[in-house]
Amino acid sequence: MSGLSERIAALSVENRARLTLELAQRLDALEFREREPIAIVGVGCRMPGDVHNLTSLWDLLRAGGDAIREVPASRWDADRYYDPDPTVSGKICTRWGGFLDRVDEFDARFFGISRREACAMDPQHRMALEVAWEAIEDSGATRESLAGSATGVFLGVCNLDYSRMLPRDPKQFSVYSAMGVAPNLLAGRLAYSLDLRGPAMTLDTACSSSMVAIHLASQSLRAGECRAALAGGVNLLLSPETTVAHSRLGFLAPDGRCKVFDARADGFVRSEGGGVLVMKRLSDALADRDRVRGLVRGSAVNQDGRTHTLTAPSAGAQRAVVEQALKRAGISAAELGYIEAHGTGTILGDPIEVDALRAVTDASRNAHSRILVGSIKANLGHLEAAAGVAGILKVLAAFAQKSIPPQPHFRTLNPHISLEGSALAISSDLVPWERTPRYAGVSSFGWSGTNAHVILEEGPAAARSASPPDPQLVVLSAKTPGALQSRAANLAVHLQDAGAETQLADLAWTCAVRRTAFESRHAWVATSIPDLARQLEAFTKEPERPYAAQGNAALAAMGARWLNAEPVDLTRLHAEPRNLVDLPTYPWQRKRYWL
């Protein structure tokens, strides 16, 4: 070090100034890279209540809906396991949960997986593949653009129910038995399927798993380890054993309702689902003309350490993780408009979390600060390994609607919670989110003691592209003729609901340039959105009718070449920059694969 100091001292004043400026520029670049916002450019989700995208999620949230139902017979016999007394061994004190339909089904053909392998695969792995692909399509990425790329995979999972259901007789084991249920292959299988070359890891920090995955994906992007990342988590409840344990521990609400912040709070309800985000550095997302649904401004992870018991939360650790995330985001707590709490609806857990949030927000409170607080667990139940990403999807939906949804099952404030004199308030009604810029915090805590918090900002609005009057060539494709017919039908229905907000040229560009081209194909030359909708409906009724585009010979000829899989550059049809538009994602042709 002394030698370096002597060499710097020996420099001329001019060279020393130049060196100082260069070092300052490098430090500025390094600081920018460490703080650059991470853009969320695509989302995929599958949750109770037929929630399959941000639109259906918002429909549930704004109505204060509740997607909880009785345990379906396909999971376990609720009558056999039910007992209202949580102290009874081998029983469950509730009949309720948040369940998905058709979890035994999967589109194995789409991913090139044999029936024997698919049957041995944990359904959580299958769901992760499908939901991740939906997120990829939503982002506008294609299979070709991802293959061989430095794209990372960070997925959370904590339940291993399917492995418990496998035959115990070694003679019944197949070559796929271990691979099918290995948690590490949740991320590895997705990276293998799409030929992704960035970091790939499966994470288990219990209920904070998906939020920790999103934090690590953000760090990996800023460090330059990957240019894009898939991050989220999945959770399925396939056998009763874990629910029995949760019941004995006193975690579950007997009525199956998660009454967050309420005086009636008596536990949570277990639920299932999955969510995946596609993430990029903001500079890359803007360069790629991606639609930015929201920004990760900062995130943090810490641990409770030694508390009263192994699973007891720590208010100090919860406060610290929020403060660290705010510091990394470069904003104060007073700038937040909403906080999506972990909020499990327990009589003592909720007050500990609110006390921690008060300690953070009271320190920077000003006359204008009013921060609404809620928890999606009251709508969907506790998605455990997917709980964190569910909270982030709620905030993204709220950003899109510029509104904060009501908190279901909230009547009277928990007597152990005090909001008097604080900036915090429970979001009991659907309210406009008027304050800008819109910032939100999202918490996710695991019973492992691992806490995570993410600060989100509303994404920049896309500039409206010009609307050319010319006809447009619209192409669709799928793996099979049946899937293509379904894809056309879904798009026709979508245009009936959202067609007035969609420019035909943007839709044509999205289909041609930002969707993977599969083997089964069709094309249409359309002059307007209503014209396209009519042609799509006609195709769904008569899919075998030969291609015969009308109205523009050049476009019709280009469509014919595309249908024959001949080399054709569809990007030449769009000289002006276009915008990515929301479209229905892939129509899975699913079949049953089970033990």
Instruction: Give the model confidence (pLDDT) of 6-47 as tens digits.
Output: 665 566 666 656 665 666 666 566 566 678 999 999 999 999
Do 213 and 128 meet the contact criterion of CB atoms below 8 Å apart? Answer: no
pLDDT band at residue 393 using 50, 70 and 90 as cut-offs: very high
Cα gap 104→122, rounded to integer Å: 10
Q: Which residues, listed in sequence order, are joined to residue 77 by a DSSP beta bridge?
A: none
138 and 221 both lie in a single domain? yes
414 and 499 both lie in a single domain? no
Nearest by Cα to 98 from 140, 131, 53, 67: 67
450 and 496 both lie in a single domain? no
Inside any domain, residue 17: no
**Mind listing the pLDDT tens digit for each residue in 59-71?**
999 999 999 999 9
CATH number at residue 193: 3.40.47.10
452 and 499 both lie in a single domain? no
- Domain final residue, candidates 423, 458, 493: 458
Cα gap 327→333, rounded to integer Å: 9
> For residue 452, is it left (φ>0), alpha (ψ between -120 and 50) or beta?
beta
Dihedral Cα 428, 432, 438, 444, nearest 10 deg: 20
Model-level pTM? 0.93
Inside any domain, residue 467: no
Inside any domain, residue 505: yes
**Percent of the chain scored above 90 by pLDDT?**
81
pLDDT given at position 176: 84
pLDDT given at position 34: 75
Cα gap 581→137, rounded to integer Å: 11
Cα gap 136→110, rounded to integer Å: 15
Nearest by Cα to 399 from 455, 458, 443: 458
Close Cβ partners of 98 (under 8 Å, ≥ 6 residues apart): 47, 48, 49, 67, 68, 69, 269, 270, 271, 272, 273, 380, 381, 383
**Mind listing the pLDDT tens digit for each residue in 322-355?**
999 999 999 999 999 999 999 999 998 999 999 9
Do 457 and 439 meet the contact criterion of CB atoms below 8 Å apart? Answer: yes
Inside any domain, residue 89: yes
- Tokens standing for 338? 């909403």
pLDDT given at position 489: 96
Backbone angles phi, psi at 182, to 5 degrees: -65, 120
pLDDT given at position 308: 86
The end-to-end CA distance of the chain, in Å, is 65
Nearest by Cα to 151 from 187, 185, 175, 184: 187
pLDDT given at position 551: 79
> For residue 251, is it left (φ>0), alpha (ψ between -120 and 50) or beta?
alpha
**Mind listing the pLDDT tens digit for each residue in 482-492?**
999 999 999 99
pLDDT given at position 204: 97
414 and 522 both lie in a single domain? no
378 and 517 both lie in a single domain? no
Whether 376 has a pLDDT exceeding 50, the answer reads yes
Place of tokens 């042709």: 589
Inside any domain, residue 592: no
pLDDT given at position 366: 74
Do 46 and 100 meet the contact criterion of CB atoms below 8 Å apart? Answer: yes
509 and 429 both lie in a single domain? no
Cα gap 440→442, rounded to integer Å: 7
pLDDT given at position 42: 98
279 and 362 both lie in a single domain? yes
Dihedral Cα 398, 404, 406, 410, nearest 10 deg: 110
Nearest by Cα to 278 from 588, 580, 590: 580
Cα gap 201→191, rounded to integer Å: 10
pLDDT given at position 43: 98
Three-state SS for 406-458 is CCCCCCCECCCCCCCCCCEEECCCCEECCCCCCEEEEEEECCCCEEEEEEEEE
Cα gap 472→503, rounded to integer Å: 11
**Percent of the chain scored above 70 by pLDDT?**
94
pLDDT given at position 561: 93
Whether 233 has a pLDDT exceeding 50, the answer reads yes
Cα gap 501→17, rounded to integer Å: 55
Inside any domain, residue 584: no
**What's the domain range around 499?**
477-578
How many folded domains does the chain comprise? 2
**Mind listing the pLDDT tens digit for each residue in 492-536?**
999 988 767 789 999 999 999 999 999 999 999 999 999 999 999
**Mind listing the pLDDT tens digit for each residue in 438-456?**
999 999 999 999 999 999 9
388 and 440 both lie in a single domain? yes
Inside any domain, residue 571: yes
Close Cβ partners of 276 (under 8 Å, ≥ 6 residues apart): 43, 44, 45, 128, 131, 132, 134, 135, 155, 230, 231, 232, 389
pLDDT given at position 10: 66
Backbone angles phi, psi at 194, to 5 degrees: -105, 5
Do 343 and 350 meet the contact criterion of CB atoms below 8 Å apart? Answer: yes
pLDDT given at position 2: 52
pLDDT band at residue 1 using 50, 70 and 90 as cut-offs: very low
360 and 402 both lie in a single domain? yes
**Mind listing the pLDDT tens digit for each residue in 112-144?**
999 999 999 999 999 999 999 999 999 999 999
Inside any domain, residue 426: yes
pLDDT given at position 367: 62
355 and 319 both lie in a single domain? yes
Backbone angles phi, psi at 70, to 5 degrees: -70, 150
Cβ atoms within 10 Å, residue 88: 14
pLDDT given at position 174: 81
448 and 533 both lie in a single domain? no
3-class DSSP state for residue 24?
helix
